[in-house]
Structure 1
């Protein structure tokens, strides 16, 4: 009898072991195998959320098949206490192990909402956008100019949420005064700016920031980035350039920046001004004249008058020889590179060609023909301006 009981017990124990092994294998497969998601989702981990609450939320949104297995796997891997607050993009078919890695790896949100404060030449605007998990692209929710528009309620509702990401983006060609004035209106930043940075000293780029960051610290970061870009490109410059210092190259880069918005043209535009300097010609470029009028404090908003083209200022390159005393804007990396590695051409002139770019010429006769074509285009468009062509 006892032998029979022992045999039955042993059989039951073996069965239990087999079942347990099967359950364990199934659990491992559920944990590490492909997940149930057919489309990406954006999953938010609340501040202080427990592993239990997160696992239930993942199951409710269809990201995992079983909350209990997720918790067991998280505890077994030692990552159960490492959940990071934020919003995370979970891709289709992600396993529980991959989902856990998404929620614990960096602590930096990979989806959700982003506020981008863009500082442009003509205006600054704020864009609230949200990532669409299905396309992995941001969708604009609201856009407004804080200088002239009331703050939309949609912005107010989300800007204070702790996982919203903030970004400040500088367009190429903005002036330092424009940057400082715009940053004063960035309500998510703090601190005062005592002085406007030197013209040209700030790198146009996109900067990730956090609510409460200091404005001056951000400007210092922009200046450090520009200094590094200029130093690297100055070290790699070609021979024979008409600059004695990196600062002079930065002045030329700012002129190139303001003369064309077509990246591919920048080396040719730089070559025009370098060729003029080599031949003792004046630069004769409108953007420098405009800077002498505005001091970089906003845009002129109209065409130049003949009297302004004749008036002597340190920035009127129709009157002065050589470069103006300072940059006239903050040039981007491509313009600095063009100033230090210009195209090799015989061009001395350029004028708009109607396509958004310019027609270049090596002789005055060729240039006059290009000007005539441009004036005909302007006449056809009904946009001829008083005072002549805004070109060079």
Structure 2
């Protein structure tokens, strides 16, 4: 009916929702971070890049510090004017000095070493690390050649080693060991055999042979002077036996008196007779006893190495001994009966009494010390037992028993 208000319809009421057992669904990360930069992929990329950089740096460091697989062979390369890192790398690669030339090329270019490298001849070795090669090139000077001279080498052995290392020609070295001016300066005669101290030397390539000789003699003089100061009794023994009128004191700087010459000569025999450190002083005492004991006659040292050295020297002088000829023009290295009975060999201590005319090799400090401080034994004989050691005896009868005992095994030698 008109004028009567209508009742307002109420919306239907909903039943209260039952609580759900499912956890509420969170808004997705994508919806919450829409528009923000993706941080995790960037961090991963940076970490990978840092790891790769560290790995490369470690690899370069290992490369720089790893020696090339060589034998220590001396190598000389020529760096031409205007040579760039590629040219220097090719020269090193061709000479067998480096591995991985592409890596060395990169390092030489980055460091600028190739631009500052020495122009001309550079001395290296085939067992250096790339770092050592770069450092040698960076110094701007030719490198040194390291040469080791073993104890017991003769001057002929030393000459060949120096020539093969590229230090100086063998013929020049031998000529300077026989230089009359040098011999007079040192108070010696014949040659400088025995006075070329065995040691490790760092020498420039193409060194003047005379300078190399003088350096080695200076080293021998220094070591001998120090050993004499430590063994005054040995010096007096040598001075009394040699009849040296200069006494135990050293002569003029760089020179050698008669006592010095006796010490060096006996030390060369000790050096060649035994390689056992425990036997050196005992072997030295045998030689001293043979030279000093009044009841030992004739005073023959009877040392096999002296005979062999005499064969070598006579052949080098152009007057080879028939007893030393092995049949093809070469010199025998093994002892024969003809060699032992050859009086034409001036170094034959089976035929000539006393010490030989000079040293037969270049002794080291240990052999020199053994001569200056021998044992107090009264032995006069020794025979090699084949094990590196020697059997000693005071009488000929006992020595003969030792010879029979050890020669029967076929692995020993006899001397004296």
Q: Tell me, yes or no, whether TM beats 0.5.
A: yes
Select which of 224, 238, 241 maps to 1:243.
Answer: 238
SS in 1 for 2:341: helix
- Measured after TM superposition, the shift of residue 232 of structure 1 is 1.5
C-alpha deviations, 1:49-82, integer Å up to 9, x for none? Answer: 999xx9xxxxx9889xxx9xxx8xx99xxx9x99
Select which of 352, 364, 377 maps to 1:332.
Answer: 364
Distance 2:234 2:363 in 1: 22
C-alpha deviations, 1:121-168, integer Å up to 9, x for none? Answer: xxxxxxxxxxxxxxxxxxxxxxxxxxxxxxxxxxxxxxxxx9776333
Select which of 154, 167, 174 maps to 2:146.
Answer: 167
TM-score by length of structure 1 reads: 0.56
TM-score by length of structure 2 reads: 0.53
Distance 1:105 1:195 in 2: 32
Q: How many matched pairs?
A: 289
SS in 2 for 1:360: strand
Aligned to 1:152: none
8 Å contact kept, 1:265–1:357:
yes
Greater radius of gyration (CA):
2
Aligned to 1:346: 378
Distance 2:133 2:312 in 1: 50
8 Å contact kept, 1:351–1:359:
yes
Aligned to 1:252: 266
Compared CA separation, residues 178 and 188, structure 1 to 2 (3 A): closer
C-alpha deviations, 1:265-309, integer Å up to 9, x for none? Answer: 211111111122231332222222333444365753232325743
Select which of 292, 299, 309 maps to 1:278.
Answer: 292
SS in 2 for 1:263: coil
8 Å contact kept, 2:268–2:363:
yes
8 Å contact kept, 1:173–1:330:
yes
Aligned to 1:357: 389
Unaligned runs of 5+ in 1: 1-26, 55-59, 91-98, 110-161, 384-388
Select which of 204, 214, 227 maps to 2:221.
Answer: 227
Distance 2:158 2:314 in 1: 11
CA RMSD of aligned residues (A): 5.0
Distance 1:214 1:180 in 2: 13
Compared CA separation, residues 238 and 370, structure 1 to 2 (3 A): farther
Unaligned runs of 5+ in 2: 1-49, 69-77, 89-100, 179-190, 240-258, 317-330
- Measured after TM superposition, the shift of residue 364 of structure 1 is 2.7
- Measured after TM superposition, the shift of residue 203 of structure 1 is 1.0
8 Å contact kept, 1:177–1:297:
no
Distance 1:106 1:271 in 2: 52
C-alpha deviations, 1:293-344, integer Å up to 9, x for none? Answer: 4436575323232574363765333344432332122112211111112223
Compared CA separation, residues 347 and 107, structure 1 to 2 (3 A): farther
The structure with the largest strand share of the pair is 1
Select which of 188, 203, 206 maps to 1:212.
Answer: 206
Select which of 196, 199, 202 maps to 2:196.
Answer: 202
- Measured after TM superposition, the shift of residue 199 of structure 1 is 1.9
Aligned to 1:290: 308
Compared CA separation, residues 333 and 300, structure 1 to 2 (3 A): farther
- The 5 A counterparts of 1:1-392 are 35=58, 40=66, 89=129, 166-180=145-159, 183=162, 189=168, 192=172, 193-194=175-176, 196=178, 197-239=191-233, 242-244=237-239, 245-280=259-294, 281=296, 282=299, 283-295=301-313, 300-305=332-337, 308-309=340-341, 311=343, 314-378=346-410, 390-392=414-416
Distance 2:84 2:160 in 1: 44
SS in 1 for 2:369: helix
Aligned to 1:144: none
